Amino acid sequence: MKLATSPGVSVTLRVGGVALEEYDDPEESFGDHPIKRVKYVEAVPGAKFDIHFQSIRDQLGGMDPDEVNLRIYMDGKKAASRVLRARSAPAYHTHVDCIRREMKGEFFQEKFAFAELSTSLNPADFKSLGEIQVTCTFVRRTGPSRAGYRGDKAVFAASNGNESLPEKVLKGRAISSKVSLSAIEPLGYAPMAAQTMRPYGDEPFATYIFRYRSRGDLQIENVIPRPPSPVPLELRDPNSLTLAEGRELLLRNREKEAEQARIKNEHVNIKKEKRDLAAFETDDNDDELTITGASQPSKRARMSTDSAVEIVDLTDD
């Protein structure tokens, strides 16, 4: 990360010696803070990281006697401080990867690492949760380095309690990671303390803020795009399907056809039951008895051959 006001200085977060990819803050306005910049980076739980500082002497600014005091803050708490001889080479670089401690005359280190956030000791500790801030201030030595270095002030400490993290502390931010410290181990050398003064006051000439998030959190906060939804197999080009996808699609189609047949059969059975019920109700209500009288036989008259006798035929036609 670089600032337009300090082009000769670059500060990055690295994992395994490789700088993490930086993403712009969607809400940052560069004009409001010309000596401060914010970038998002992806935090992978368990990965150790360092803060890498690089400068070009001719573009550093300040005066020849000035050196750079690098201060590092983790989640709003001071973690480490280093005085850098940034003018000792045309292109100077160094890194800070640990907190140094002095105990009973021996020096130890605890390296920076990312971890999953699950606990909190104090909600007030999370005002700057998810941020690593690095400030650069010009200082000038007032005397030689002296022995008796007491290590970094143990202000920052990884939270290891079992208290639950209140949701209100996050204030809508998607944060599931934290900075942790590795197991304590011997440092291997005795650091020295620099005697300095600040010729231009306490205000840093550059501030770099890294907001570390898991990949999922970066997507939730719209820093990086969400992965596109997969195209349903039914809408895919059949020629693009793998053998497994083709089998899956065939199985889905068979299940769909079986379900449609089951629904159709149920519909037919329901209609038949309704029709049978209607016929039963009609027969049951037909309880009137109708008696129909016999029809009167038709009468046909015919003349007898005997002219004196008339014969009437009473049989039916």
Q: What is the pLDDT of residue 247?
A: 82
Q: Mean pLDDT: which of 37-41, 113-117, 279-283, 311-315 is highest?
A: 37-41
The model's confidence at residue 266, banded by pLDDT at 50, 70 and 90, is confident
In a domain, 247, yes or no: no
Q: What is the pLDDT of residue 111?
A: 94
In a domain, 275, yes or no: no
Q: What is the pLDDT of residue 251?
A: 86
For residues 296 and 54, give the distance between their C-alpha atoms in angstroms, rounded to a whole number: 129
pLDDT digits (tens, 9 = 90+) for 131-170: 999 999 999 998 887 766 666 765 555 544 433 445 544 4
User: How many domains is the chain built from?
Assistant: 1
- At 268 the three-state DSSP class reads helix
The model's confidence at residue 203, banded by pLDDT at 50, 70 and 90, is very high
Q: Which of 215, 12, 234 is nearest to 132 (CA)?
A: 12
Q: What is the pLDDT of residue 101?
A: 86
Token pair belonging to 150: 């007491």
pLDDT digits (tens, 9 = 90+) for 213-222: 988 888 888 8
Q: What is the pLDDT of residue 289?
A: 47
Q: What is the pLDDT of residue 160?
A: 44
* Residue 186 reports pLDDT greater than 70: yes
For residues 106 and 20, give the distance between their C-alpha atoms in angstroms, rounded to a whole number: 33
For residues 270 and 268, give the distance between their C-alpha atoms in angstroms, rounded to a whole number: 5
In a domain, 113, yes or no: yes
Residue 138 bridge partners (DSSP): 68
Give the residue, 122 or 107, on which the prediction is more confident.
Answer: 107
Q: What is the pLDDT of residue 30?
A: 58
Q: Mean pLDDT: which of 50-54, 62-66, 309-313 is highest?
A: 50-54
The model's confidence at residue 110, banded by pLDDT at 50, 70 and 90, is very high
Give the residue, 105 or 297, on which the prediction is more confident.
Answer: 105
For residues 152 and 140, give the distance between their C-alpha atoms in angstroms, rounded to a whole number: 20
Please list the alpha-helical segments (H only) found in the chain: 167-170, 215-220, 243-285
pLDDT digits (tens, 9 = 90+) for 4-36: 899 999 999 999 999 999 999 877 765 567 899
- At 176 the three-state DSSP class reads coil
The set of residues, in sequence order, having a beta carbon less than 8 Å from that of 219 and lying 6+ positions away, is 225, 226, 227
In a domain, 250, yes or no: no
Q: What is the pLDDT of residue 32?
A: 64
In a domain, 28, yes or no: yes
Boundaries of domain holding 67: 9-220
Percentage of the chain modeled with pLDDT above 90: 35
Q: What is the mean pLDDT of residues 245-263?
A: 83
- At 166 the three-state DSSP class reads coil
Token pair belonging to 199: 């010729």
In a domain, 89, yes or no: yes
In a domain, 315, yes or no: no
Assess contact for 206 and 135: CB atoms under 8 A. Answer: yes
In a domain, 18, yes or no: yes
Please give the sequence-ordered ranges of beta strands (E in DSSP) within the chain, or none if there are none. 9-15, 18-19, 23-24, 36-42, 50-56, 66-74, 77-84, 91-96, 98-103, 106-116, 131-146, 177-181, 185-186, 193-197, 206-213, 300-303, 310-313
pLDDT digits (tens, 9 = 90+) for 67-104: 999 999 998 888 999 999 999 999 999 999 999 888 88
* Residue 173 reports pLDDT greater than 80: no
Give the residue, 58 or 276, on which the prediction is more confident.
Answer: 58
